[in-house]
Amino acid sequence: LFTPQTPSAATLLHPVPTAAQSTPPLTSAPLRPNQSLTLPPESFPIQSITSHRPPRPRCTSNAVNIKNLCPIFCTPATPHPTPTPKHLKLALFNTRSLTNKSAILHELITDNKLDFLCLTETWHRPLDYFSLNQTTPSGYTYIDKPRPDGRGGGVAAIFRKNLNISTISIPPSQSFKHVALKLPGPTPLVISIIYRPPKPNHSFLSDLAAFVTQLSAISPSILLLGDFNFHIDDPNCKSAIDLLELLHCLHLTQHVNFPTHCRGHILDLVCSAGLTLHQLSSLDLHISDHLAITLDFITPVPPPKLKRNITFRNIKSINPSALSDVLANTLSTSTPPPTACPSDLASYYNNTLSLCLDKLAPLNTRTVSFTHTAPWYTPELRQLKTRKRQLERLYKKTGLTVHLHAYTDHLSDYKNALNSARSSYYSQLIHSGSNNPKTLFSTVNKLLKPCDSTLSSITVDKCNSFLSFFQSKIDSIYNQLSNPPTTSDSQPPAAPTTPPLSQFTLVSPLELLPIVSNMKSSTSVLDPIPSSIIKLCLPAISPLIVTIINSSLTSGFVPQTLKLAAVTPILKNPALDPDTISDFRPISNLPFLSKILERVVAAQIKTHLHSHELYEPFQSGFRPQHSTETALLKITNDLLLSADSGHLNILILLDLTAAFDTINHSILLSRLQTSLNITGSALSWLKSYLTDRHQFIHINNCSSSTVPLPQGVPQGSVLGPLLFILYLLPIGSIIRRHGLHFHCYADDIQIYISTKSITPATLYTLTNCLTELKSWLQTNFLQLNCDKSEIILIGPKSLATSTQNFSLSIDNTTLSPSPFIRNLGIIFNNNLSFEHHISRLTQTAFFHLKNIARLRPLLSFSAAETLIHAFITSRLDYCNSILYGSSSKVLNKLQYIQNSAARLLTHTRSHEHITPVLQHLHWLPIPYRINFKLLLLTHKALHNQAPSYLTDLLHHHTPTRNLRSSDANLLSHPLRTKHRTWGYRAFSIAAPSLWNALPKHIRDCSNPSTFKSLLKTHLFKSAFNLQ
Query: How far does Cα 122 stand from its chain's mean position?
Result: 25
Nearest to 414 by CA among 389, 393, 446, 434: 389
- Low-confidence winner among 274-278, 808-812, 836-840 (lowest mean pLDDT): 808-812
> Number of C-alpha atoms within 13 angstroms, CB side, residue 512?
24
Residues 6+ apart with CB under 8 A from 323: 356, 360, 533, 536, 537, 540
Architecture of domain 620-662+711-831: 2-Layer Sandwich (3.30)
What is the distance between the alpha carbons of residues 780 and 727, in angstroms, rounded to a whole number?
Answer: 9
Q: Letter for the amino acid at 230? A: F
Q: What stretches of 371-400 show up as alpha helix (H) in DSSP?
A: 379-398
Please state the rounded mean pLDDT for residues 85-96: 88
Complete DSSP assignment for 633-655: HHHHHHHHHHHHTT-EEEEEEE-
> Phi-psi category of 613—alpha, beta or left, where left has phi over 0 and alpha has psi -120 to 50?
left
Rounded to the nearest 5 percent, the helix, strand and coil shares of the chain are 45, 15, 40
| pLDDT of res. 455 | 54
Nearest to 507 by CA among 409, 601, 414: 601
Contact 903, 914 (CB under 8 A): yes
CATH superfamily, region 85-300: Endonuclease/exonuclease/phosphatase (3.60.10.10)
Please state the rounded mean pLDDT for residues 88-104: 90
Please state the rounded mean pLDDT for residues 434-459: 70
Please state the rounded mean pLDDT for residues 413-432: 83
pLDDT at 81 over 80: no
Cα angle value 547/551/555 (rounded, 5°):
175
Other C-beta atoms closer than 10 Å to the C-beta of 457 total 9
Report the percent of the chain where pLDDT is more than 90.
50
Question: Which pLDDT band holds residue 327 (cuts at 50, 70, 90)?
Answer: confident
Question: Which pLDDT band holds residue 150 (cuts at 50, 70, 90)?
Answer: low
pLDDT at 418 over 80: yes
Question: Which pLDDT band holds residue 267 (cuts at 50, 70, 90)?
Answer: very high
pLDDT at 322 over 60: yes
Cα angle value 887/891/892 (rounded, 5°):
110
Positive or negative, the CA dihedral 458, 463, 464, 468 is positive
What is the distance between the alpha carbons of residues 736 and 920, in angstroms, rounded to a whole number?
Answer: 52
Nearest to 129 by CA among 845, 871, 854: 854
Question: Which pLDDT band holds residue 303 (cuts at 50, 70, 90)?
Answer: low
Contact 363, 129 (CB under 8 A): no
Residues 696-731 pLDDT 10s: 999 888 899 999 999 999 877 889 999 999 999 999
Please state the rounded mean pLDDT for residues 919-947: 96
Residue 309, classed as helix, strand or coil, is strand
Positive or negative, the CA dihedral 895, 901, 904, 908 is negative
What is the distance between the alpha carbons of residues 1006 and 1008, in angstroms, rounded to a whole number?
Answer: 6
pLDDT at 67 over 70: no
Residues 6+ apart with CB under 8 A from 251: 273
The residue ranges of every structural domain in the chain are 85-300, 308-372+468-485+495-616+665-709, 379-433, 620-662+711-831, 928-1023
Question: Which pLDDT band holds residue 109 (cuts at 50, 70, 90)?
Answer: very high
Phi, psi for 1019 (deg, rounded to 5): -70, -35
What is the distance between the alpha carbons of residues 1019 and 933, in angstroms, rounded to a whole number?
Answer: 11
Burial 868-904 (b: 16+ CB within 10 A, else e): bbbbbbebbbebbbbbbbbeeebbebbbebbbbbbbb
Contact 254, 222 (CB under 8 A): no
Complete DSSP assignment for 34-62: T---PPPTTT--S---BPPPPPPPPP---
N- to C-terminal Cα distance for the chain?
A: 131
What is the distance between the alpha carbons of residues 576 and 818, in angstroms, rounded to a whole number?
Answer: 28
Nearest to 348 by CA among 357, 358, 340: 340
What is the distance between the alpha carbons of residues 583 and 311, in angstroms, rounded to a whole number?
Answer: 30
What is the distance between the alpha carbons of residues 92 and 90, in angstroms, rounded to a whole number?
Answer: 7
